[in-house]
Amino acid sequence: MKIFAYGIRDDEKPSLEDWKSAHPNIEVGYTQELLTAETATLAKGSVSAVVYQQLDYTREALTALAEVGVTNLSLRNVGTDNIDFEAAKEFNFNISNVPVYSPNAIAEHSMIQLSRLLRRTKALDAKIAKHDLRWAPTIGREMRMQTVGVIGTGNIGRVAIKILQGFGAKVVAYDKFPNAEIAEQGLYVDSLDELYAQADAVSLYVPGVPENHHMIDAAAISKMKDGVVIMNASRGNLMDIDAIIDGLNSGKISDFGMDVYEEEVGLFNEDWSGKDFPDAKIADLISRENVLVTPHTAFYTTKAVLEMVHQSMDAAVAFANGETPAIAVKY
């Protein structure tokens, strides 16, 4: 049995080698290149392909992969919104993702960033870097004094809630599909409008499906408290970034943290030092002392990377054996 993996980063190689050593009877080929119509031929002779990329899995790429006899596709990440499912269905692709690799990684990052915004660490760090060791006017707020609105109570959202409760914050939550544990705690409100009206800070943990596109827009922001703090480590398309910038300019939004961006492909995970930065909006946000930008790194921990590699490889083997892994995508 041979499996071919695309887009293998240097930080993934130890986890991949670890998996290979535990499966000596399986041949594993890999490349740092992403899956495209042109690179699909690299998987020829394999039974499954393992992938991770922000590029779309286009009809052309899936057609080329099917033409070399590979119709098992295992993603090392959660999101499947960049797959041409019409083409995948046409060629009878089996697809898996890794929906739970480390909820703690993303939840911890979002709450660390929220805490940093409340304690104004970016402004304080800038002062200290200039040897200005005065306190005022860089005064922070305590998490326990905040009402934090958590939108989405899946695996990640529930970990975030536990972290917030550890701080002593009041949590209000909203989810179209309520969780029994969260419901038992009485944390749910009946609508987003109700959450917006109560929350001093809002943090999102929902998928980037079409119905959630730009859910945080000018209308939503207008329903929030004056001086609201917004944190998004979920999906970039949840945010109308122009509305966010307008809210920051007006003071309606006091602080903003983002780990994801709707136009991040080709921008994030690139070194722009010494080059012209291509996105004026992100450059503007990075320059603000009340905004924290990270380039889609919330997931990026040693534990998460290991799980993403191991679970996707296990699923690739299961597909090759005619089995349906628990993480198979139903479409």
Catalytic (active-site) positions: 235, 264, 296
**Which residues partner with 292 through β-bridges?**
257
Q: What span, in angstroms and rounded, lies between the C-alpha atoms of 119 and 141?
A: 6
Cα separation values, 95 from 2, 27, 92, 183, Å: 17, 20, 9, 33
278: Cβ contacts below 8 Å, ≥ 6 apart? 267, 272
3-state helix, strand, coil in the chain (%, to 5): 40, 15, 45
* Other beta carbons within 10 Å of 13: 13
Which strand ranges, in their side-by-side order, compose the sheet holding 253-258? 170-174, 147-151, 201-204, 228-232, 253-258, 291-293
What are the residues facing 188 on neighbouring strands? 173
- Cβ atoms 1, 27 nearer than 8 A: yes
Question: Do the beta carbons of residue 33 and residue 39 sit within 8 Å?
Answer: yes
CB atoms within 10 A of CB 194: 15
